[in-house]
Chain A
Amino acid sequence: MFDGISIQLLMGQLLIGLINGSFYAMLSMGLAIIFGLMHVVNFAHGAQYMLGAFIAWLLLNTLGINYWGALFIAPVVVAIFGMVMERLVLKPIHHLDHLYGLLATYAVTLIVEGLIRQQYGSSGLPYSSPIPGGVNLGFMFLPWYRLWVVLFSFAMCLGTWYLIEHTKLGSYLRAANENPEIVESFGINVPRMITLTYAFGVGLAGLSGVLAAPIYQVSPSMGSSLMIVIFAVVVIGGMGSIMGAILTGYLLGVVEGLTKVFYPEGANLVIFVIMILALILRPQGLFSKKEGA
């Protein structure tokens, strides 16, 4: 196809790009939902993603609950953790500058990661694939589990987008993003909506963690290493833009994968180069409807 580049390598990296993009999309979507309503840059998102993976590992190794059970239980547990965190940490500082929210969630990240590291070490724990095997497409081998992750996360993103953009519940959320005081003056319990929205965003991070457990090592730092990229995705897509976060997540995953094929040295940098260009040329984000930054 291209000089020195086999179709196997290209398709393989495209698949890895899609898988990474799936995680980027789900995580940045949760982050965008939280930022949209609360204007909190949730730095704990990576730790909450890691918690999802760890809870899945714990459920399997202590209670014998398999992946499919964990896929439901772990996000709920992480969401409950999010609710408690919102009430105890974020609500008291809601009226302060947004920087305090970022610092507080960063502190939670350090505490959660530290506790997990102390208990389970930092080397990473294995989690076997719940759908072993795959299909040989001729030009590449496609593992079933990876196909499941791409399809499931795509369905989750689409479902969440539909919920927010096309349902009554979503219209409350979009309205509260614009003017929470007026939405509350209609008799809607906005403080509870904020708690539940945070829990939902955090639950999405937990769900991503469960999906990630069989692909990556379950380790305390698995979220932190991803978070920098996720923030770049959200900035490029447009802070608070749900569809922007989803599309940018997939797009950047694929761009990163293709860069590994054509210019491997630049693979770790390409997302940040795009972020800088986006900030210069369209600071409000590629998919934001707002004019200017």
Chain B
Amino acid sequence: MSSETAKAPLLQVENLNAWYAESQALHGMNFEVPEGELVTLIGRNGAGKSTTLRSIMGIVRKRKGSIRFRGAELIGRQTYEIARQGIAYCPEERAIFASLSVRENLGLPPVLSAGGSSDEELLEQFPNLRARQNSMGTMLSGGEQQMLAIARILRTGSRFLLLDEPSEGLAPVVVKEIGQQILRLKQRGYTILLVEQNLKFAQMVADRHVVVEHGQVVDVLAADQLQANMARVKTYLGV
């Protein structure tokens, strides 16, 4: 018997099925996210990556199977209860509130547990936002909006982040900056589940890749295995 005890993963998804009305989007997803790691969900459009994040958060309500976070079951819980467990979600569309200023957007999420960044810390970490504090949220550029969307969820104190395609639609230089911010978060001990279509971006930041196709996990690759399996992964992604 090994003296080493296997560390329980932070998030365990088992046989997760999810539906939008009558249309089934996830067909038995299985994967784990170990604490402190950055795991990407990669796959082509419509594979079920974003639905997986939305199901974890309880935004997609019709779901079956099991989602355990720190051992506690999330299925059956409401979205705000899931957030209070210590999970923060940054959606694909960024969801910057048009009727709120940058400062109000940044200050919106409540502090749910100790360890959240203060407004001043966030502005230090995302300096582009400092000069735009009084602008309305939607007056920001795409990159600034993405920074704001990531920055505001760091207020809550949640240590597990769900990031949905943070690089989407951004200029390469901005993508690089976002990538560096995400790496800094990882270095600070955050656990991150990242949905990404941009393979180069995923490669830059991830410890592990979970490949999703037709609402199922078809492959799991450690970061150092990706290059060797690139041809297969590119087939999955359709590139």
A contact residues vs B (CB 8 Å cutoff): 168, 171-172, 174-175, 177-179, 181-191, 289
Task: Please name 25 pairs of A and B residues whose Cβ atoms are closer than 8 Å in the assembled complex, sorted by A.
Answer: A171-B104, A171-B107, A174-B100, A175-B99, A178-B98, A179-B97, A181-B79, A182-B89, A182-B91, A184-B79, A185-B57, A185-B88, A186-B83, A186-B110, A186-B153, A186-B156, A187-B83, A187-B84, A187-B109, A187-B110, A187-B112, A187-B156, A188-B80, A188-B109, A289-B99
Contact assessment for A188 and B98 in the assembled complex, using a CB-CB cutoff below 8 Å: no
Hey, which chain A residues are within 8 Å of B156, CB to CB? 186-187
With both beta carbons as reference points, the residue of chain A lying nearest to B79 in the complex is identified as A184
B218 within 8 A of A: no
Nearest-neighbour CB distance to chain A for B152, whole angstroms, equals: 8
Nearest-CB distance from B69 to chain A (Å)?
Answer: 14
CA distance A186 to B95 in the complex (A): 12
The yes or no answer to B170 lying at the interface (CB within 8 A) is no
Q: With CB as the reference atom, state the residue of chain B lying closest to A165.
A: B99
Out of A168, A177, A189, name the residue touching B80 (CB < 8 Å).
A189
Does B108 lie at the interface of the complex (its beta carbon under 8 Å from any beta carbon of A)? yes
Q: How far is the CA of A191 from the CA of B108 in the complex (A)?
A: 17
B178, chain A: closest CB distance, angstroms: 19
Contact check, A186 vs B57: say whether CB atoms are below 8 A apart: no
Q: A171-B107, A172-B108, A175-B108 are in contact. Are A184 and B78 (CB under 8 A)?
A: yes
B80 touches A190 (CB 8 A): yes
How far, in angstroms, from A174 to B83 measured CA to CA in the complex?
Answer: 20
Which interface residue of A177, A178, A184, A191 has the most chain B CB atoms within 10 A? A184
Q: Give the residue name and chain of the B residue nearest to A183 (CB).
A: B108
Chain B interface (Cβ < 8 Å from any Cβ of A):
57, 59, 78-80, 83-84, 88-89, 91, 95, 97-100, 104, 107-110, 112, 153, 156
Contact residue among B78, B91, B100, B112 (Cβ-Cβ distance under 8 Å from A171): B100
Cα–Cα distance between A174 and B96 once the two chains are bound (Å): 12
Per a CB cutoff under 8 Å, which of A179, A187, A188 touches B95? Answer: A179
| Least distance between A196 CB and chain B CB atoms (Å) | 14
Least Cβ distance of B132 to chain A in Å?
17
> Does the CB pair A186–B78 fall under 8 Å?
no
User: How far is the CB of B126 from the nearest CB of chain A, in Å?
Assistant: 18
Query: Quick one: given A168-B107, A183-B108, are A175 and B100 in contact (CB under 8 Å)?
Result: yes
Assembled-state Cα–Cα distance A200/B108 (Å)? 21
Q: Are A185 and B59 in contact (CB under 8 A)?
A: yes
Q: Which residue of A lies closest to B104 (CB)?
A: A171
Chain B residue, CB-CB nearest to A179:
B95
Besides A186-B110, A187-B83, A187-B112, 4 more A-B contacts (Cβ < 8 Å) are A172-B108, A184-B59, A185-B88, A191-B78
Contact B79 A185, beta carbon cutoff 8 Å: yes
